[in-house]
């Protein structure tokens, strides 16, 4: 009797242990991200936005040295198929932002020093915007949907930020003296301040949009801070040269420095899964980081040069834009086609 009871007890415990182990494996698998699919997304692709109105992904395509052109590609988020395109050959687009209230996308056209306003509903170019200067270098686009204002970083020494009126789609004014090589921008707790990455100074500038002046500046915590986002409380910065992601308080205190991979450039935060994504151009990987412990959970290969990450706010699905390996064509030599570049990758 005692033996039977002991065996039953062991059997029950064994089943419980097996069940607990199964739950552990299930939990681990549920937390893990996976590369679901990669697909071609254009030529010379650079950045993307996700439309809250039609749910599609819009990818900028600037063409290449051997295949000049310019377009916005409309991509189905489920199977990554290209379903439509908007030609922008005169002003090939690089950076992009979207006003989901008006369904207008704004592209930074670095080669022609301009910004395009594109109505995504009709697929038509409605304005080409310039600041009137002889030289400029438009890069990142940040949209204030509340006030219908569009901010565009203009890389220089010193740099500036364009301000575009979304009602008229005309250049309004610019905020000057913003340091050497300013690139990425984000809002934090409202739209009255822009947090701006300044590569040449390894710094973050806090720019007051009302007074049009720099309130403060502080170190980024890494080398060559190129892009920036927020989790709603803190700042999250991709530092390209040091290959790190740094987490800073809004006052500039360094909370964490996370080694990711060489060429950390694209940065995004997923509020659903509480994840940070870092696209690392030189390693060809995208880092998946736990946004609470700041532990690197995975390094996923996503293409030749991962450049930009966008998160679907409804599902938490991450989409990575991967540039292609470039190089000037050599006369008499065959053109090398990079099959892992110019792709969009879906992480789920």
What the block records as the tokens of 59 is 């990818």
Mean pLDDT of 175-183: 98
Alpha-carbon gap, residue 85 to 102, rounded angstroms: 19
- Let me know: does 304 contact 340? Beta carbons within 8 Å: yes
Q: Please indicate, yes or no, whether the overall pTM of this predicted structure exceeds 0.75.
A: yes
- Kindly tell me if the per-residue pLDDT of 26 is higher than 50: no
Mean pLDDT of 324-334: 63
Domain locations in the chain as residue ranges: 36-326+343-347
Edge-to-edge strands, sheet with 343-347? 35-40, 343-347, 318-323, 305-311
Which of 163, 206, 202, 162 has the alpha carbon at shortest distance from 188? 206
Mean pLDDT of 177-187: 98
* Residue 17 binned pLDDT confidence (cut-offs 50, 70, 90): very low
CATH class of domain segment(s) 36-326+343-347: mainly beta
Q: What is the pLDDT of residues 251-289, one digit of tens each?
A: 999 999 999 989 999 999 999 999 999 999 999 999 999
- Kindly tell me if the per-residue pLDDT of 201 is higher than 60: yes
- Let me know: does 151 contact 186? Beta carbons within 8 Å: no
What the block records as the tokens of 157 is 């020494």
What the block records as the tokens of 232 is 């709603």
**Sign of the torsion formed by the C-alpha atoms of 296, 300, 306 and 309:** negative
């Amino acid at each position: 009797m005692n033996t039977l009871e002991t065996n039953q007890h062991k059997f029950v415990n064994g089943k419980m242990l097996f069940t607990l182990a199964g739950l552990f494996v299930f939990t681990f698998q549920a937390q893990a991200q996976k590369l679901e699919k990669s697909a071609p997304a254009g030529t010379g692709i650079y950045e993307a936005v996700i439309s809250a109105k039609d749910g599609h992904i819009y990818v900028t395509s600037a063409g290449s040295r051997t295949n000049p052109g310019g377009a916005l590609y409309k991509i189905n988020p489920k199977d990554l198929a290209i379903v439509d395109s908007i030609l922008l050959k005169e002003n090939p687009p690089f950076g992009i932002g979207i006003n989901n209230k008006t369904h207008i996308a704004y592209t930074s056209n670095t080669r022609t020093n301009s910004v395009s306003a594109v109505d995504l509903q009709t697929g038509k170019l409605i304005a080409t915007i310039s600041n009137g200067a002889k030289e400029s270098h438009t890069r990142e686009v940040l949209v204030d949907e509340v006030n219908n204002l569009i901010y565009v970083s203009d890389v220089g020494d010193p740099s500036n930020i364009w301000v575009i009126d979304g009602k008229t789609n005309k250049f309004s004014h610019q905020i000057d003296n913003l340091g050497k090589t300013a690139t990425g921008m984000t809002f934090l707790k409202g739209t009255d301040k822009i947090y701006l990455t300044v590569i040449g100074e390894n710094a973050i500038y806090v720019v007051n949009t009302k007074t049009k002046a720099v309130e403060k500046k502080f170190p980024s915590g890494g080398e060559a801070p190129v892009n920036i986002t927020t989790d709603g409380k803190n700042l999250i910065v991709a530092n390209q040269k040091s290959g790190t992601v740094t987490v800073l308080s809004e006052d500039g205190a360094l909370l964490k420095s996370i080694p990711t991979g060489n060429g950390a450039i694209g940065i995004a935060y997923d509020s659903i899964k509480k994840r940070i994504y870092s696209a690392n151009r030189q390693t060809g990987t995208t880092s998946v980081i736990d946004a609470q412990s700041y532990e690197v959970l995975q390094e996923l290969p996503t293409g030749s040069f991962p450049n930009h990450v966008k998160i679907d706010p409804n599902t938490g699905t991450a989409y990575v834009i991967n540039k292609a390996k470039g190089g000037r064509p050599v006369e008499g030599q065959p053109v090398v086609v990079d099959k892992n570049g110019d792709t969009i990758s879906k992480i789920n």
